[in-house]
């Protein structure tokens, strides 16, 4: 196993029976925005960083000002609900299909070792602007039946062309590791950072699975307002920083 696990903040093991919300950059970035927003808007704590082989070679400064290698971040979200809830997300995934498959297998094997019970991958699907759908696709008949009993809109005929990438593999591999897995999909026009589509995704996940997430009722601008309130007042000029001959360099 090439996946290296870096435990953080004094944690050495995941809570048993946890549900993991997973997202990677993709269509509209809506799954990634949803997962990142949950971590920012709820009481969350990074408990581990997963270091697989094949991520783009881009080391970045972390929140402590330390240079960190590319990784996937695993955080626990404290909502007060009985079900332990965690999120797993990364800024990128391998470009090589073989490395994508290897990453998915190693992540699922790790979650199996940690006694996780459910993996929900959040993703977007391009559709017409007037279509605002959110639905789930299961990887096993038993989990599909369970979700339907919970009132989840589970589709059997979408996405018609299937799905690709690490997120798709994680959503489909659950039965191989004794884990319930599904993909929760929201439609989007495909623009980067579709905040409103991400809001719908969060609302449906909470409605269906009752994780105890805070779902506001003050209109469609809630997520934008709360994220902007947490943004720094001064905007860094990242282009200038990366092109300055005195500061930027390639490693």
Give a yes or no: residue 28 inside a domain: yes
By the 8 A CB rule, do 244 and 54 touch? no
Question: Which structural domain range is residue 148 located in?
Answer: 4-243
The CA distance from 218 to 210, in Å, is: 20
Helix (H, G, I), strand (E, B) or coil at 87: strand
Q: Which pair of structure tokens corresponds to residue 222? A: 């809630």
From residue 209, alpha-carbon distances to 40, 86, 149, 152, 206 in Å are: 20, 14, 11, 8, 5
* E strands, the chain, in order: 4-7, 19-23, 43-51, 60-61, 67-68, 72-78, 85-90, 118-126, 134-138, 180-188
Q: What's the predicted TM-score (pTM) here?
A: 0.85
Longest distance between any two alpha carbons in the chain, whole Å: 60
Give a yes or no: residue 100 inside a domain: yes
The CA distance from 186 to 99, in Å, is: 26
Give a yes or no: residue 71 inside a domain: yes
143-147 own/partner pairs: CB under 8 Å, 24+ apart: 143/174, 143/180, 143/181, 143/182, 144/182, 146/180, 147/182, 147/208
Which pLDDT does position 193 carry in this prediction?
61
Q: In terms of Cα–Cα distance, which of 136, 145, 180, 154 is closest to 31?
A: 136
Taking residues 177-199, what's their average pLDDT? 85
Tens digits of residue pLDDT in 49-74: 999 999 999 999 988 899 999 999 99
Q: How many structural domains compose the chain?
A: 1
State what percent of residues in the chain have pLDDT above 90: 62
The CATH number of whichever domain residue 30 belongs to comes to 3.40.50.10900
pLDDT bucket at 226, cuts 50 / 70 / 90: low
Give a yes or no: residue 108 inside a domain: yes
The CA distance from 209 to 151, in Å, is: 9
The CA distance from 131 to 63, in Å, is: 38
Residue of higher predicted confidence among 19 and 30? 19
Give a yes or no: residue 63 inside a domain: yes
Full DSSP string of 113-146 = HTT--EEEEEEEEE--TT---EEEEESSHHHHHH
Tens digits of residue pLDDT in 130-168: 778 899 999 999 999 999 999 999 999 888 888 888 999
Taking residues 243-247, what's their average pLDDT? 43
Give a yes or no: residue 17 inside a domain: yes
pLDDT bucket at 235, cuts 50 / 70 / 90: very low
Give a yes or no: residue 143 inside a domain: yes
**10 Å Cβ neighbour count for 5?**
17
pLDDT bucket at 237, cuts 50 / 70 / 90: very low
Tens digits of residue pLDDT in 92-105: 999 899 999 999 99
Taking residues 74-95, what's their average pLDDT? 92
Q: What is the mean pLDDT of the chain?
A: 85
Give a yes or no: residue 248 inside a domain: no
Q: CB-based contacts of 198: which residues, under 8 Å, 6+ apart? A: 28, 30, 31, 33, 34, 37, 186, 223
Which pLDDT does position 238 carry in this prediction?
39
Half-sphere exposure of 121 (CA within 13 A, CB side): 30
């Amino acid at each position: 196993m090439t996946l290296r696990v870096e435990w953080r903040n004094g944690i050495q093991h995941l809570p048993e029976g946890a549900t993991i919300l997973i997202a990677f950059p993709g269509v509209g970035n809506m799954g990634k925005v949803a997962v990142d927003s949950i971590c920012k808007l709820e009481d969350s704590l990074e408990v581990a960083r997963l270091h697989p082989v094949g991520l783009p070679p881009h080391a970045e400064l972390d929140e402590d000002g330390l240079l960190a290698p590319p990784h996937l971040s695993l955080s626990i979200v404290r909502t007060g609900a009985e079900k332990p809830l965690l999120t797993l997300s990364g800024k990128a995934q391998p470009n090589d299909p073989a490395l994508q498959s290897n990453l998915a297998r190693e992540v699922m094997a790790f979650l199996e070792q940690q006694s996780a019970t459910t993996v929900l991958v959040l993703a977007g699907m391009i559709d017409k602007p007037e279509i605002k759908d959110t639905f789930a696709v299961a990887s096993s008949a038993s989990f599909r039946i369970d979700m339907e009993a919970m009132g989840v809109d589970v589709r059997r005929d979408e996405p018609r062309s299937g799905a690709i990438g690490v997120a798709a593999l994680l959503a489909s591999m659950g039965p191989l590791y004794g884990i319930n897995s599904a993909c929760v999909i929201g439609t989007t026009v495909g623009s980067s950072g579709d905040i409103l589509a991400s809001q719908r995704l969060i609302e449906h996940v909470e409605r269906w699975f009752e994780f105890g997430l805070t779902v506001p009722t003050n209109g469609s601008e809630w997520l934008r307002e709360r994220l902007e309130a947490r943004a720094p007042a001064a905007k860094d000029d990242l282009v200038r920083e990366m092109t300055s001959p005195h500061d930027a360099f390639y490693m």
